[in-house]
Amino acid sequence: MIVLQGTPLCNLNCSYCDLSPVSRKLSHRMPISMIGTLFSQIKQLGLLADEVSIVWHSGEPLSLPPDYYDEAIELILALNSDGPGMPARITFDFQTNATLIDYKWCEFFHRHRDHLRLGVSCDGPRELHDPLRVNWSGRGSHAQTVRGMDLLAERGIAFNAIAVVTAETLAQPQEFIDFFLARADVLTDFHFNILANHADGGPQIGYSRDDTQKYAEFYRAMLSLAQSAEGSKLPVRNFSQTLGRIRAATGPDAPDFVRLGTAPLRQLNCDARGEITTFYAGLNAEFLADLYGDGKGLSLGNIEKQTLAEMLGGDKLERMMDDFGKSHRHCALSCDYYALCPGGFELTQLVENGDFASGETTECVIHVKTLTDAVATFVSDQLRQPA
Ligand code: SF4
């Protein structure tokens, strides 16, 4: 996965955004030539997988005009089929708040339908969405997001939905899932998103271990509501991925999800100024700026100043891999859920427990353990029912 930040600019000021409000007001854009430099170097170094997802994210991608992406896509596809070796199968992913979707954008999505996937961020019904997904004047954005989704539906453009779960959502699972079930015909799938860091977002959205029971009930309710929805089918990614891991975790060839999930170069991020990070999709170079003593967080370097080969040969990547390795070894030795964990909590362990080699965090309890238990219990209950 290659995550490109076309621009940090966003027309919304959602309270839980990973980008700072200052960043989201900056209107610079990633030069098309930078995309060419990055992609050519990735290809020359033999780092392209058979299938590659290029994701425009971090900032509202539709803040830039469609012809910016026409040009970028044309360039990437040309570079992909250029030179020796099999070209990768490339998919272009857009994650948008949908408020800027108009007929011009629908034409763009339609034009690229063979290699484009669209994701819409919407937190469900208005009363769940509007308190936190606001514009710069503090007004809720639900009406505009729904208008964008309706336009996509009218034009037959399928999309997936991502919804952030708040304290209010936990209390209203029926209203929450009904909103998305009503759009099941046009949704490819659905993912509910619990903040990656429990301390972010204030009381409406933060969580603690004391909330474990509430999350267990929410997962149970969502599982049975998604299952019982009459006539509508809405794949819920949180559940299908958890079930996939439960299925794959037995047997001699069971994948090591924790190590695979954050293997370096599996995900590569380039922000609009050219800072390169890896390990997590969308990792922001501002995060933990002082961790490695250069004020640049987990940035490997800047593609305008260094080549990718120089960045990958530097000792900073080695130090980061060493730290992530400490986390993985500790998890493998200490956690009963290791075989089922998707991984991705290394920096959370450092922030929450003060050490990479420190094991369980609040996120482990809520995201991994409680969810895995809920899915496993649900499946075994289903299997016990008479056919
Ligand atoms: S749940 Fe937490 S402690 Fe367990 S393997 Fe995953 S990250 Fe490690």
Q: In the predicted model, is pLDDT for residue 189 greater than 90?
A: yes
Q: From 298, 301, 294, select the one nearest 324 (Cα to Cα).
A: 298
Quickly count: other Cβ atoms within 10 Å of residue 129's Cβ. 25
Q: How many CA atoms lie within 13 A of 163 on its CB side?
A: 32
**How far, in Å, is the centroid of ligand 1 from the Cα of 273?**
33
pLDDT digits (tens, 9 = 90+) for 49-73: 999 999 998 899 999 999 999 999 9
Quickly count: other Cβ atoms within 10 Å of residue 171's Cβ. 13
CA dihedral (105, 111, 116, 117) positive or negative: positive
pLDDT of residue 16: 83
**How far, in Å, is the centroid of ligand 1 from the Cα of 58?**
26
pLDDT digits (tens, 9 = 90+) for 260-301: 999 999 999 999 999 999 999 988 888 899 999 999 999 999
pLDDT of residue 83: 78
- Counting ligand 1 atoms within 8 A of each CB, the residue from 209, 364, 372 with the most, and so the one to mutate, is 364
Tokens for 327, please give them.
Answer: 């986390």
Distance CA 96, CA 85 (A): 33
* Whether the CB of 100 sits within 6 Å of ligand 1: no
DSSP-assigned letter for residue 88: P
User: How large is the average pLDDT for residues 311-336?
Assistant: 97
DSSP-assigned letter for residue 86: P
DSSP-assigned letter for residue 140: B
| Alpha-carbon separation of residue 287 from 18, 237, 319, 341, 351 (angstroms) | 9, 27, 17, 23, 11
- Counting ligand 1 atoms within 8 A of each CB, the residue from 334, 353, 355, 360 with the most, and so the one to mutate, is 360
* Whether the CB of 332 sits within 6 Å of ligand 1: no
pLDDT of residue 227: 79
Band of residue 173 on the pLDDT scale cut at 50, 70, 90:
very high
DSSP-assigned letter for residue 103: H
pLDDT of residue 21: 84
**5: alpha, beta or left, given left = phi > 0 and alpha = psi -120 to 50?**
beta
* Whether the CB of 360 sits within 6 Å of ligand 1: yes
**How far, in Å, is the centroid of ligand 1 from the Cα of 248?**
17
Residue with tokens 């949908």, as numbered in its chain: 98
Q: In the predicted model, is pLDDT for residue 228 greater than 80?
A: no
Q: In the predicted model, is pLDDT for residue 204 greater than 80?
A: no
**How far, in Å, is the centroid of ligand 1 from the Cα of 374?**
17
- Counting ligand 1 atoms within 8 A of each CB, the residue from 350, 368, 370 with the most, and so the one to mutate, is 368
* Whether the CB of 368 sits within 6 Å of ligand 1: yes
**How far, in Å, is the centroid of ligand 1 from the Cα of 260?**
14
Is the model more confident about 179 or about 200? Answer: 179
Tokens for 183, please give them.
Answer: 């759009």
User: How large is the average pLDDT for residues 177-190?
Assistant: 94
Q: From 83, 86, 120, select the one nearest 101 (Cα to Cα).
A: 120
Residue nearest to atom 4 of ligand 1 (CA): 335
Q: In the predicted model, is pLDDT for residue 339 greater than 80?
A: yes
Four-CA torsion 222, 224, 228, 233, nearest 10 degrees: 50
User: How large is the average pLDDT for residues 205-227?
Assistant: 92
pLDDT digits (tens, 9 = 90+) for 101-150: 999 999 999 999 999 999 999 999 999 999 999 999 999 999 999 999 99
